[in-house]
Amino acid sequence: MKYRILHKTAYRYSEPASLSQNELFLNPRGTFIQRVLQSRLTIVPEPQYLHQRTDYFGNIAHVFMVQQPHEELAMSTVSMVETSLPVTPAAADTAPWEAVARRLADPRAAVELAANQFVFVSPLITLSPEAMAYGRQSFPPGAPVLAGGLDLVQRIFTEFTYDKSATTVDTAVDQVLVDRKGVCQDFAHVAISCLRSLGLAARYVSGYLETSPPPGKPRLVGADASHAWISLFVPDAGWVDLDPTNNLIAGESHITVAWGRDYGDVTPVKGVVMGGGVHALSVTVDVAAQS
């Protein structure tokens, strides 16, 4: 599949801002199943400082600074990517989850070192008895690790309610576990917390997902949104992406931008502003399949 993605974030200030400094994770990254054909970033007003870097996890980040008075700030990225279907192992044939946890905990297993860093707590992921108890329901003794992961995302999909008003970016995982409400970011954090509490490696993935309009209705430009899912480490197969919000293995309609320990590592737009008074934020995302 080939997709064109437009992501635009705009701030309007009630009074001039004297300085704005931001870090962006908006450019899709290349993977084994995703090829970035083009990606162009536009910032208005033009920044006095703009630097592109590759972060610790291999994601593309842009850091910029606008050092002149401005009443609006707009950041937009237009990207063209080509995706293909991932090769996923049969869930029942994957290793028992306990064996995977032991391998990840073994300092002599050098092949697992890259995955091992995604076993621990991170700023937005806690490892709690509640998360472990919820996760264990999907991982009985001897359960194949991918089968357990699929069961976990299915339970989150079934038992949690998608509610945009239920959480903020600061809502803790434990609170989401209690309320059973949230958005894709929350569901990804819950799944990761459960998996890491069992000693398994899971990372947070940000990106986009093409959405389909209701039957008979036209597709609305800009109706898509940033999306989030998880990636579970499966020995001898690598990372398998699972989408708790939609209860499926991520496919060619999932477009990866960045991955990290949690949302904080790959926030699409974050920064600071001096002055500006009250600000209004608007975000537009459009994912369109190309022939």
Q: For the purposes of burial, counting CB atoms within 10 Å of the CB of 109, is it exposed (0-12), middle (13-18) or buried (19 or more)?
A: middle
Taking the C-alpha atoms of residue 263 and residue 217, their distance in angstroms, rounded to an integer, is: 33
Taking the C-alpha atoms of residue 278 and residue 255, their distance in angstroms, rounded to an integer, is: 33
Cβ atoms of residues 20 and 65 within 8 Å: yes
The verdict on 127 and 145 lying in the same domain is: yes
The verdict on 42 and 149 lying in the same domain is: no
In the numeric block, which tokens belong to residue 21? 């400094």
Task: Report residue 18's pLDDT band, with 50, 70 and 90 as the boundaries.
Answer: very high
The verdict on 96 and 70 lying in the same domain is: no
We report the CATH number of the domain holding residue 140 as: 3.10.620.30
Question: Rounded mean pLDDT of 162-191?
Answer: 94
pLDDT for the residue numbered 55: 97
Q: What is the mean pLDDT of the chain?
A: 94
How many other β-carbons are positioned within 10 Å of the β-carbon of residue 13? 19
Spatial CA neighbour of 249 closest among 28, 86, 33:
86
- Count the domains in the chain: 2
pLDDT, tens digit, 9 for 90 and up, residues 62-94: 999 999 999 999 999 999 999 999 999 999 999
For residue 146, give its domain range: 91-261
Peptide bond into 140 cis (omega under 30): no
pLDDT for the residue numbered 215: 80
The verdict on 251 and 115 lying in the same domain is: yes
Least confident of 99-108, 140-149, 186-195, 268-277: 99-108
The verdict on 58 and 143 lying in the same domain is: no
Question: Rounded mean pLDDT of 18-38?
Answer: 96
The verdict on 127 and 195 lying in the same domain is: yes
The verdict on 136 and 171 lying in the same domain is: yes
Beta bridge partners of 73: 11
pLDDT, tens digit, 9 for 90 and up, residues 194-240: 999 999 999 999 999 988 777 877 766 656 789 999 999 999 899 99
Beta bridge partners of 224: 285
- Containing H/E element for 96? none
pLDDT for the residue numbered 221: 64
We report the CATH number of the domain holding residue 12 as: 2.60.40.2250
The verdict on 80 and 139 lying in the same domain is: no
pLDDT for the residue numbered 270: 94
DSSP secondary structure string for all residues of 146-162: HHHHHHHHHHHHHHSEE
pLDDT for the residue numbered 214: 73
The verdict on 118 and 152 lying in the same domain is: yes
pLDDT for the residue numbered 233: 97
Least confident of 95-104, 223-232, 257-266: 223-232
The verdict on 234 and 134 lying in the same domain is: yes
The verdict on 228 and 282 lying in the same domain is: no
pLDDT for the residue numbered 222: 55
pLDDT for the residue numbered 122: 97
Calculate the CA dihedral of residues 89, 146, 267, 30 and round it to 10 degrees. -10
Q: Characterize 256-274 residue by residue with b for buried, 16 or more Cβ atoms within 10 angstroms of its Cβ, and e for exposed.
A: bbbbbbbbebbbbbebebe
The verdict on 277 and 174 lying in the same domain is: no
DSSP secondary structure string for all residues of 228-250: EEEEEEETTTEEEEEETTTTEE-
Taking the C-alpha atoms of residue 134 and residue 112, their distance in angstroms, rounded to an integer, is: 25
pLDDT, tens digit, 9 for 90 and up, residues 113-151: 789 999 999 999 999 999 999 999 999 999 999 999 999
Taking the C-alpha atoms of residue 206 and residue 269, their distance in angstroms, rounded to an integer, is: 12
Q: pLDDT exceeding 70 applies to what percent of the chain?
A: 97
